[in-house]
């Protein structure tokens, strides 16, 4: 069996897209490494995980989501199905309401699935708790958890170390380093002012802002920050998002940065993309959905479907090989696609250089 977690059909599908490999220190570079990237190359667990005999049992996996099923989950399920695993899935969706999580945790402790799949930083942190306070009364500490769409698992205190979590948790990171993100923006068009609207109550977003502050300072760029106002319960106000974007534009933002912020990039993505377009403000996203479905302009992202499959690859090591999550490194795919929505480009008259078009994925929607 092929030692890569992509099969031949996946490879053919991916080759139809122009993929970009961006080196953090070197700006833009054309693809030159194996398609799977360094995350799997040399991994001693790859061959054994894929060679393991598929048992007859039906595995039970509980998926804890924050915004319903999407390409991540489809990729995860597809990978395990192609491996021949029989799986009974239980889907639980918080819809962004973290007050639902204690009930979900109680159900998980009662039903004891073989594995938990967790999407997003809030769900994952709420499920497993911080690594320095793993209270088994409040959190799930004795059932394997694989997470996805967590941008900064160490800073979020989900794992203390990417190589060895030391607990019942492993997973995948879905975004490129901030330096690579800014390389992409400046390869598209040099700017002086970068705007960002974010949820100040989402730890993932706050950590991203801290990274942006450091990187923009190194580059001599001005970061225009607009946190979304909170209501009297300390929750971000969706109705205030358009005004926050307008303030960023009024302050001179040349492009609007859309980070791995569940509130901005998922729950309010249509409003964010539409309002930025109305204000004639170009947009850059670190995830693909808002560009593919909501007419944001530019993204640097790993395929959500591919990330889902990569997460399932780690789940298979646990279910088939009996590997402990603590022994499986937290990783990201090493290849990212530049995705450009040409309908938005034309509406903004904000055209990319020809060189970028040569290897970007161009969509029309």
The 10s digit of each residue's pLDDT in 41-58 is 333 334 444 445 677 899
For residue 117, what pLDDT is reported?
A: 98
More confident residue, 202 or 213: 213
Q: Out of 43-47, 236-240, 298-302, 311-315, pick the least confident.
A: 43-47
Does residue 38 carry a pLDDT above 50?
no
For residue 51, what pLDDT is reported?
A: 45
For residue 147, what pLDDT is reported?
A: 97
Token pair recorded at residue 218 = 């190194």
Does residue 333 carry a pLDDT above 90?
no
For residue 53, what pLDDT is reported?
A: 65
pLDDT above 90: percentage of residues in the chain:
71
CB-based burial label for 362 (10 Å; 0-12, 13-18, 19+): middle
CB-based burial label for 134 (10 Å; 0-12, 13-18, 19+): middle
Mean of all residue pLDDT scores within the chain:
86
Q: Which residues 6+ apart lie within 8 Å of 242 measured at CB?
A: 271, 275
| Burial profile 53-62: b = 16 or more Cβ within 10 angstroms, e = fewer | eeeeeebebb
More confident residue, 259 or 50: 259
Q: Which residues 6+ apart lie within 8 Å of 89 measured at CB?
A: 61, 62, 63, 77
More confident residue, 244 or 42: 244
Does residue 16 carry a pLDDT above 90?
no
Does residue 27 carry a pLDDT above 60?
no
Mean pLDDT of 4-28: 42
Asked if residue 230 lies in contact with residue 201, where contact means CB atoms within 8 angstroms, the answer is: yes
For residue 77, what pLDDT is reported?
A: 97
Does residue 11 carry a pLDDT above 80?
no
Does residue 68 carry a pLDDT above 90?
no
pTM of the prediction?
0.72
- Kindly report, residue by residue over 81-121, the tens digit of the pLDDT: 999 999 999 999 998 788 999 999 999 999 999 999 999 88
Does residue 204 carry a pLDDT above 50?
yes
For residue 358, what pLDDT is reported?
A: 87
Q: Which domains does the chain have, with CATH numbers?
A: 52-174+303-334 (3.40.50.2300), 178-301+338-363 (3.40.50.2300)
């Amino acid at each position: 069996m092929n030692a890569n977690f992509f099969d031949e059909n996946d490879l053919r599908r991916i080759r139809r897209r122009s993929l970009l490999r961006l080196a953090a220190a070197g700006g833009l570079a054309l693809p030159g490494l194996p398609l799977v990237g360094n995350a799997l190359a040399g991994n001693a667990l790859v061959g054994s995980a894929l060679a393991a005999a598929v048992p007859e049992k039906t595995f039970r996996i509980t998926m804890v989501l924050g915004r319903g099923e999407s390409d991540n989950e489809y990729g995860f399920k597809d990978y395990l199905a192609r491996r021949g695993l029989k799986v009974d899935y239980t889907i639980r969706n918080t819809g962004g309401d973290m007050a639902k999580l204690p009930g979900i945790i109680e159900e998980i402790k009662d039903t004891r699935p073989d594995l938990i799949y967790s999407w997003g930083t809030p769900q994952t942190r709420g499920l497993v708790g911080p690594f320095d306070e793993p209270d088994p009364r409040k959190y799930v500490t004795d059932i394997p958890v694989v997470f996805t769409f967590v941008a900064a698992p160490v800073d979020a205190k989900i794992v203390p170390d990417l190589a060895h979590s030391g607990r019942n948790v492993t997973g995948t990171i879905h975004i490129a380093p901030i330096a690579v993100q800014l390389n992409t923006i400046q390869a598209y068009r040099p700017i002086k002012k970068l705007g960002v609207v974010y949820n100040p109550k989402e730890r993932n977003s706050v950590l991203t802002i801290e990274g942006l502050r450091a990187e923009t300072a190194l580059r001599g760029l001005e970061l225009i920050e607009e946190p979304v106002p909170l209501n009297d319960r300390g929750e971000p106000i969706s109705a205030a998002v358009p005004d926050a974007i307008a303030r960023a534009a009024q302050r001179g933002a040349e492009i609007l940065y859309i980070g791995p912020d569940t509130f901005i990039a998922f729950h309010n993505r249509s409003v964010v993309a539409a309002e930025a377009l109305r204000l004639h403000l170009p947009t850059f996203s670190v995830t693909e959905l808002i560009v593919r479905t909501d007419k944001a302009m530019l993204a640097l992202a790993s395929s959500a479907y591919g990330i889902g499959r990569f997460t399932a690859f780690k789940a298979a090591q646990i279910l088939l090989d009996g590997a402990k999550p603590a022994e499986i490194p937290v990783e990201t795919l090493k290849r990212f696609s530049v995705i450009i929505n040409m309908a938005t480009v034309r509406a903004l008259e904000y055209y990319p250089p020809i060189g970028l078009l040569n290897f970007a994925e161009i969509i029309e929607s």
